[in-house]
Structure 1
Amino acid sequence: MTDDLPPGGGATGEPTGVPRAAPEPDAPIQVVGRGGRRREQALALGWLVAAWLLLWGDVSVGNLIAGLVVGAAVLLFFPLPPVTFGGRFRPRALLVFLITFIAELVSASLHVAAVALRFGYRPRGAIIAVPLRVRTDLNLALTAEVISLVPGTLIIDVDRAAGVLYVHVLDVRGPEDITGSRERVLAVERRIVRAIGSPAEVRRLDLEPAERRNHP
């Protein structure tokens, strides 16, 4: 596999013609009480356990216990800065996110397997810059985690100030593949925000063009 950039990619991996996102002002600081801090830790532990189960690919009692132990150890020895969750859980949108994620996981796995089995084929890779619309730490982390779990895509850098993900994409044949890869990343962000985002974040996505807004 080679990492040659197709036409349209710059030396830094950022596609030509894509304006760099301007940083947004930081959200107002909120004081988190002990109860709120515990809820945030429980939420973080849940995401760590979910990531552990996805990485192992086997939902079993042993893996669940191991995920709880590893997640608790991470939170204990590597405490994360407090992340205030101001969103809302929307069960229907969360179900859409999970079903779509599983479908993309299967489709991407089959695609990577087909590329690996093509004798003599040398796939080209590209690094693309994807500015996110919602630039909170939580959204950056969740979107980056989901993208990295899908075979054929990998987060190689995150510009926290500008809210930009730099993604390595496998098997890029032309500019249309770069555009499609960027749209898939934005679609992942859209599904996450619709599932757990705040009303203000959902309204921000509603300002998109209709063809993007109606994408699942």
Structure 2
Amino acid sequence: MIDRVWATGLLSQQIWCWGQDVKRPEGNWLLEIGFERTTPPEHRKECSSVYTLAINDRTRITLRGFGIYIGDDLRGGMFIERYGFTPKYSSKSRLDCPPWSTNDLPDFQFPDAQQRDPTAMLLLDLLDWIRQYELEVVKRLGIDYRRNTLIQWNNGKRPFMPAEQMASSWRELTIAIAANPDAWISLNADQPISAGNRAEEGSER
């Protein structure tokens, strides 16, 4: 069943995979495909590096252990936390500083009615990019590589998606959200809410 709990498990596993791709023995895969790495300053040494990729002339994706930010110069920005899968919107399409922790993120809100469509488009763009990322991993590194990165993740206590189903699962989720965005994007709210309060997992320096 494709629901928010299922999507949360899929996203958490994906973030784990990115952490393993950074540690790849043959070289940091994120850097190889064009991500920019920003290392933490001296006063933030406890934080992991920030990875950002421009996926086109106006859109950027930033990966963190606690979630993902996508910013589009025409639509604004969206953050989706690792736990909960509740997209939150900001009119800012660019971050003021690298998000070393959730405290460095701008305040996000559940979108209002006018912001629902740009939020949905940002979310769908992000999920389609993740699907393409996994297809490229299998094409260039092989399915056995992704299987091996998931061995430690699959400890019997966490939701698990086999390597062979990861890309297709992102496509299924994209289709489900496109068919009924109101079921996935909570409308509200006048008060800003925190982007999340979970500690990082699966990220690397």
Q: TM-score range by the shorter chain?
A: under 0.3
More helix by share: 1
More strand by share: 2
Report which of the two structures shows the higher radius of gyration computed on alpha carbons: 1
